[in-house]
């Protein structure tokens, strides 16, 4: 059963609670599929199952509160916290992941918190890492609120309108056209992933270049 099918079996009020809770826990630093839950809930809103405005508000609130709690945990736990997490969750908090995220923070400051909301790895690490690196809380809060609202609200709105348009469009769409659209979508996704991988590789070479000089 897919996530959106499972969500359809839950009363709307619990969908809102689930969206806020999952995204909040993910932002706190627990590896959970927050983005999948948000996209699924937004798709349900395009079918009239839940209210898109409430979904966006719950997602934004969960993101902001979760990141703030993560910041406090990171501020109190410091670097030893990530050492313990790395031993327990090496796929998400391994030394390479932490080092990469720290380079991004040192290079971009509060913008790493804002744009980190749109990147899976930084979405989990942003709050705790900002606290561990002693980023001033007011700077973190500004970036946290703006990033949470733009990410949650923007994703909900985009998926909602995409779902509404797609539902009307596909009613009179031929199977040949549907297959072609899927292939184009897959090709675009692969291309974007390759570009992102290349950009990440270039990001990792920057410290090596600096140290060599």
Rounded-to-integer distance, Cα 50 and Cα 53, Å: 9
**What DSSP string describes 12-66?**
HHHHHHHHHHHHHHHHHT----HHHHHHHHHHHHHTTSS-HHHHHHHHHHHHHHH
Gap between the Cα atoms of 134 and 14, Å rounded: 36
Q: Is the pTM of this model over 0.75?
A: no
Q: What's residue 206's pLDDT?
A: 47
Query: Minimum mean pLDDT among 7-16, 54-63, 73-82, 139-148: which range?
Result: 73-82
Residue 209: its pLDDT value, please?
43
Q: Does residue 71 contact residue 137 with C-beta atoms inside 8 Å? A: yes
Q: What is the pLDDT of residues 38-60, one digit of tens each?
A: 888 888 888 888 899 999 999 99
What pLDDT, in 10s, does the model give residues 150-207? 999 988 988 888 877 665 655 554 445 445 545 655 566 566 566 655 655 555 554 4
């Amino acid at each position: 059963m897919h996530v959106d099918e499972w969500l359809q079996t839950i009363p709307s009020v619990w969908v809102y609670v689930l969206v806020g809770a999952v995204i909040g826990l993910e932002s706190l630093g627990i590896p959970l599929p927050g983005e999948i839950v948000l996209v699924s809930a937004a798709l349900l809103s395009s079918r009239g199952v839940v209210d898109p405005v409430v979904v966006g508000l719950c997602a934004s609130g969960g993101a902001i509160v979760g990141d703030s709690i993560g910041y406090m945990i990171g501020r109190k736990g410091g670097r030893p916290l990530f050492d313990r997490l790395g031993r327990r969750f090496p796929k998400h908090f391994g030394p390479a992941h932490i080092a990469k995220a720290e380079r991004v923070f040192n290079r971009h400051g509060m913008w790493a918190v804002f744009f980190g909301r749109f990147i899976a790895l930084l979405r989990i690490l942003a709050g705790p890492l900002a606290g561990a690196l002693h980023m001033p809380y007011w700077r973190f809060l500004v970036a946290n609120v703006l990033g949470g609202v733009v990410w949650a609200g923007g994703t909900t709105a985009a998926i909602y309108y995409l779902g509404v348009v797609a539902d009307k469009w596909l009613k009179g769409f031929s199977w040949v056209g549907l297959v072609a659209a899927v292939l184009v979508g897959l090709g675009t996704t692969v291309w974007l992933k390759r570009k992102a991988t290349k950009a990440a590789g270039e990001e990792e070479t920057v410290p090596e270049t600096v140290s060599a000089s």
